[in-house]
Amino acid sequence: MRNEELTELARQLRVDSVRAADAAGSGHPTSSMSAADLAAVLLAHHLRYDFAAPENPANDRLVFSKGHASPLLYSLYKAAGAIDDEELLTFRKRGSRLEGHPTPRLPWVDVATGSLGQGLPVGVGMALGGKYLDRLPYRVWVLSGDSEMAEGSVWEAVEHAAFEKLANLKLIIDVNRLGQRGPTRHQHDLDAYARRLRAFGWHTVEVDGHDVAAVDKALTEAVEVDERPTAVIAATRKGRGVAAVEDREGKHGKPLPDAEAAIEELGGPRFVTVRVQPPPAAGARRDRDLGPLELPRFETGTEEATRTAYGRALAALGSARGDVVALDAEVGDSTRTEYFGKEHPDRYLEFYIAEQQLVAGAVGLQTCGWVPYASTFAAFLTRAHDFVRMAAVSRAGINLVGSHAGVSIGEDGPSQMGLEDLAMLRSVHGSTVLYPCDANQTARLVAAMADLDGVRYLRTSRGETPVIYGPDEEFPIGGSKVLRGGVGDKATIVAAGVTVHEALRAADALAADGIPVRVVDLYSVKPVDVDTLNDAAGATGCVLTVEDHRPEGGIGDAVAEAFSDGRPAPRLARLAVRDMPLSATPEEQLHAAGIDAESIAAAVKLLVERIVAH
Amino acid sequence: MRNEELTELARQLRVDSVRAADAAGSGHPTSSMSAADLAAVLLAHHLRYDFAAPENPANDRLVFSKGHASPLLYSLYKAAGAIDDEELLTFRKRGSRLEGHPTPRLPWVDVATGSLGQGLPVGVGMALGGKYLDRLPYRVWVLSGDSEMAEGSVWEAVEHAAFEKLANLKLIIDVNRLGQRGPTRHQHDLDAYARRLRAFGWHTVEVDGHDVAAVDKALTEAVEVDERPTAVIAATRKGRGVAAVEDREGKHGKPLPDAEAAIEELGGPRFVTVRVQPPPAAGARRDRDLGPLELPRFETGTEEATRTAYGRALAALGSARGDVVALDAEVGDSTRTEYFGKEHPDRYLEFYIAEQQLVAGAVGLQTCGWVPYASTFAAFLTRAHDFVRMAAVSRAGINLVGSHAGVSIGEDGPSQMGLEDLAMLRSVHGSTVLYPCDANQTARLVAAMADLDGVRYLRTSRGETPVIYGPDEEFPIGGSKVLRGGVGDKATIVAAGVTVHEALRAADALAADGIPVRVVDLYSVKPVDVDTLNDAAGATGCVLTVEDHRPEGGIGDAVAEAFSDGRPAPRLARLAVRDMPLSATPEEQLHAAGIDAESIAAAVKLLVERIVAH
């Protein structure tokens, strides 16, 4: 396109952004208008994308990290002929796929955005996939706002992209000077951003973001840089083109006060369409079916840590499936993810201590068809909570594995103990939460979680636990195992992970005291096995849950929820970690927290005697 | 001290670190040994601290961000005469206050560390307090590892410290080249760190971290820089001084293989003590009791958003109390925190879009006696989950306020909706979780939360809700309000926030249909009002919870937990947000999620008819 045509296109994008927000009665037109020239030049000259075949793996990726500029994105889709004007005006209405912030309900959106500072880290995942795994020539374009450069997650991504020399990653920063509530830290000081990015090893280009010829030149330069990631840092004006809002404070996140006048000021509606350049032909994907799955087998009666079983099972899964990748946050020796790395170094990605980038990397990779397993200490997954939350909005299929769960890690103390992870992961929409107690169970669950939908979480333990299941036992998702039980059981103990073994010891002690009890291994914390719990409750009348986790949000809540279906419920009681742990041995920790065999047996006796348990 | 004495002191710190870890059978001696020379020079020549009076507000702050180097910290305490050798050797043992990672059980530790990348952001909070609020001349020394420089939270802090010109903040980076599982990204490339920090506006000094004279010079330079924060970037060797471990991989986080030989190689035990320089005398603190509290009063029957009531109440609280500070993450216009900012600009701190720094800032400020209220969208508090978790380990008293809770925000869509915040905040040890439904209730709770222990969370809503309580009504923490009820109630509806109003409408409709029900406003989600819930359950036999939150971890779980005390429980059912919301109006959202009055009434009818409710 000639520059005049580009300018026309940009004006159309502004007009359509104003129209969409006006029809919706809400939205962010001014944040769209600032980036319209950048988006016009990108769409017309640089993006390589087949809108008719969004699943084409060779397509460039376009991530609107400033997701609130969705009117601009949807206006781009209209200009590319992907949606029509009628659909554009359904923006933000019930039933429309043009949501307030973009989600993958639209086939051209790979990941949901709207929580700022996530687009670049997710783009790093996509770029890693293109460069190192799929070896495809696509480029990853990330449009970022200037405000969101304050998010630490952006700098995790900046660091990692430079370190991995992700020349296929192209960041465009729309420096429109104004955040939501006023000026940004650096306002129009483009060099403030450029200095920082260059210090991390990026190539930078500063440009007037409303000069289409200059933008075209900048994006061309970005495309040509092939040794390092590039950032095009563009000075723009929020609300550009409409004097009533341009570069003014207090105009964020609302329709223009007089849309009709604004559209006229912008020259009225236009009908420019763009023939977007298709991607180059992609070669066949690498074979992802490598051979039969041969999970490790552990002998019953021996002892093994579930984290170790996870590492070995993941390595085995990687030998069977070429689509499995493992992601580490500089703790692979502790989580045992390094076992995978030793066998499959080409599919092992090290993110160093940057948990947000770790999870974002997994989200980016799964958009490319990879099956990522991202691991760190369960406690440190909390660092990436917002990324996990947004992964659910993205309908992303990712595996998260948190090790060193609970007080049973021992001396390291509470900063290292995952005690809130079950609560966090259970609350994620559509998630699966698994918590194995032995090595064979772990191996089976590691394989089973690979192909589930949504966010899958596996919780592993640091210390060794007895192998109580045979290697051929099956563990369906949503199931549980009744490990002790018979006619005349007086109570049910529901446990998972390390507390299963404590529960079994308690059950044996109680049986010796003439109090037979049922023990349920609730390895699938979400979904939970409602039927087995109901059967047990019906048979025994009372249920005690015991968990190496806070009382809130974990196994106690999961079991209580199973009985929150309007039916008469059993008497319930729960043992959990109620105090702040101090340093002590694992055994001392379990006892101090009141979740060891002795505490369980005492609680069962109280419960059976119908005395309040806590 | 002469250089030779400093070297002796450093050797003693190494020996004591080795001895402590050896006695414990675990710990991180090699990570302590790398920083021993840095710590020795700091303690002997630069730290201004009265160990006999840790509460002295003029004391320097010392934050071991690399909390795993706790043996070094405790060895410092011994050298300063604060603890004796016998206590040193209780390291990591049950009952000892020398935990695996430092916590404020020790009077000289202001905040717990051990989750990496938190020390600098917390230090920023302390430095802001010193420079802008207390106007005290203390310095904040943060000892950081090199691995943790990969955490984005560090760069949020680096950016903010430079922007606020926190010359009282002195970062010492112990660049020992080795992370937990192998080399760091930048190994011994000190300039990689220096370039990045300088690009953000820091003063940097590179130094050989084992040359005590050079370290002394570097720290002197750091003290003298008075316009910007300074980082001393020190090349060190992990395990320094013991050939078997020095600069070797695989030696992280374990005692030395042969402690006796190592101690001999280090020259044996020493008995150096240091007279630490006391701080300069501090002036009197500013008056924090400014006048009587005059909370805003809202007229019943009018409508107001709880976020607005929060903003107004916080401003009023700030007028009454000089110790209240408000922290914003660039959304003060949305959260209404800006109302405080307009009345008390000197106590209003803008952190831009950096939620980890926001919460860390609050944690840092509360160590200085301030009462911080940190606010952002409830959804974006998930970004700071690990900081909130660690705040609990730090026994920090902070107020967090999350706005735009739930689907009732409307068109913006799920990325902006706080739907997991109750689960996250309930699971935090010792937390208080409040969720008001009207403006007067909000105002009272804003004031009441100020002086509680631990992490306090207030959840506010975007839209206007009817004022149903008078301005003089009281709302004790741990209480609830029975809004409808009498003899013959057939069911209990438990609601909070926006769903209270839906529940009241449902109750009225049900009453008209001849089904009287009780309605409980559960404004205190944690602690929960067990007695009132038990009374209601006893009277009605069944309880329906309804919440604008995920089914997991929120009000449904809180109520179920109240009935998990071993007693016979009522029949329970819950309404919550079970699907992924799309864009729609607030009313459409509540209906689509099945939490509006119509859905509640239908669910009650099912429950009363003893039919399974979901």
Whole-number Å distance between alpha carbons of A69 and A71: 6
Q: Average pLDDT, stretch A202-230?
A: 98
| A393 lies within 8 A of chain B by CB | yes
CB nearest to B333's CB, from A147, A155, A180: A180
Selected residues 556-575 of chain B with any CB under 8 Å from a CB in chain A: 556-558, 560-561, 563-574
* Distance between first and last Cα of chain B: 74
Q: Average pLDDT, stretch A238-263?
A: 97
A137 upstream amide cis, omega within 30 of 0: no
Does residue A394 carry a pLDDT above 90? yes
CB pair distance less than 8 Å for B24 and A411: yes
| B407 lies within 8 A of chain A by CB | no
Nearest Cα neighbor of B442 from B421, B406, B469, B418 is B469
CB pair distance less than 8 Å for B411 and A196: no
pLDDT tens per residue across span B118-132: 999 999 999 999 999
pLDDT tens per residue across span B241-273: 999 999 999 999 999 999 999 999 999 999 999
Confidence of residue A612 (pLDDT cuts 50, 70, 90): very low
Residue B47 Cα distances to A267, B66, B145, B276, angstroms? 66, 18, 19, 7
Sign of the alpha-carbon torsion through B158, B163, B165, B166: negative
pLDDT tens per residue across span A194-213: 999 999 999 999 999 999 99
| A605 lies within 8 A of chain B by CB | no
Whole-number Å distance between alpha carbons of B235 and B252: 18
pLDDT tens per residue across span A75-84: 999 999 999 9
Q: Average pLDDT, stretch A499-509?
A: 98
Confidence of residue A613 (pLDDT cuts 50, 70, 90): very low
pLDDT of res. A583: 87
Cα within 13 Å of Cα(B526), Cβ side: 31
CB nearest to A572's CB, from B558, B563, B588: B563
Average pLDDT, chain B: 96
Q: Where are the alpha helices (DSSP H) in B179-305?
A: 190-200, 212-224, 259-265
Burial of B224 (0-12, 13-18, 19+ CB in 10 A): exposed
Residue A342, C-beta contacts closer than 8 angstroms, at least 6 positions apart: A315
> Which residue is listed with tokens 């306090």?
B456
Amino acid occupying residue A399? N
Does residue B595 carry a pLDDT above 60? yes
pLDDT of res. B285: 67
Confidence of residue A285 (pLDDT cuts 50, 70, 90): low
pLDDT of res. B612: 44
> What letter would DSSP give residue B285?
P
Q: What are the beta bridge partners of residue B208? A: B235
Nearest Cα neighbor of A58 from A120, A144, A126 is A126
| B154 lies within 8 A of chain A by CB | yes
Does residue B11 carry a pLDDT above 50? yes
Nearest Cα neighbor of B337 from B400, B410, B386 is B400
Selected residues 82-101 of chain A with any CB under 8 Å from a CB in chain B: 92-96, 98-101
Number of C-beta neighbours around residue B45 at 10 A: 18
Does the annotation mark B221 as catalytic?
no
pLDDT tens per residue across span A446-471: 999 999 999 999 999 999 999 999 99
| A184 lies within 8 A of chain B by CB | yes
pLDDT tens per residue across span B513-529: 999 999 999 999 999 99
pLDDT of res. A287: 72
pLDDT of res. A282: 80
Joined tokens for residue A366: 């799964």
> Which residue is listed with tokens 């009628």?
A86
Report the side by side order of strands in the sheet with B371-377.
Answer: B348-350, B324-328, B371-377, B398-403, B455-459, B432-434, B524-526
Phi, psi of B160 (to 5 degrees): -70, -40
CB nearest to B353's CB, from A150, A355, A426: A150
A527 upstream amide cis, omega within 30 of 0: yes
Nearest Cα neighbor of A327 from A289, A381, A392 is A381
Going from the N-terminus, what domains does chain B have, and what CATH number goes with each?
Answer: 3-53+62-265 (3.40.50.970), 303-466 (3.40.50.970), 482-613 (3.40.50.920)
Joined tokens for residue A201: 């090893």
The distance of B322 to chain A (nearest Cα, Å) reads 25
Residue A379, C-beta contacts closer than 8 angstroms, at least 6 positions apart: A402, A404, A415, A416, A417, A418, A419, A420, A421, B115, B386, B389
Q: Residue B455 belongs to what H/E stretch?
A: strand B455-459
Burial of B325 (0-12, 13-18, 19+ CB in 10 A): buried
* Distance between first and last Cα of chain A: 74
Phi, psi of A481 (to 5 degrees): -125, 130
Residues of B with Cβ-Cβ distance to A400 under 8 angstroms: none
Contact yes or no for B577/B595 (Cβ under 8 A)? yes
pLDDT tens per residue across span A351-391: 999 999 999 999 999 999 999 999 999 999 999 999 999 99
Which residue among the candidates B148, B151, B265, B355 is catalytic per the annotation? Answer: B355
Does residue B7 carry a pLDDT above 50? yes
Does residue B382 carry a pLDDT above 80? yes
| A402 lies within 8 A of chain B by CB | no
Taking CA–CA distances from B525, the nearest residue in chain A reads A552
Average pLDDT, chain A: 96
Confidence of residue B613 (pLDDT cuts 50, 70, 90): very low
Does residue B302 carry a pLDDT above 50? yes
CB pair distance less than 8 Å for A180 and B99: no
Does residue B91 carry a pLDDT above 80? yes
The distance of B177 to chain A (nearest Cα, Å) reads 13
CB nearest to B150's CB, from A198, A354, A610: A354
Q: Average pLDDT, stretch B467-475?
A: 98
Q: Average pLDDT, stretch B184-203?
A: 98
pLDDT of res. B609: 87
Q: What are the beta bridge partners of residue B140? A: B61, B169
SS3 for B373? strand
Residues of B with Cβ-Cβ distance to A611 under 8 angstroms: 566
Q: Average pLDDT, stretch A396-419?
A: 96
Contact yes or no for A54/A82 (Cβ under 8 A)? no
pLDDT tens per residue across span A549-581: 999 999 999 999 999 999 999 999 999 999 999
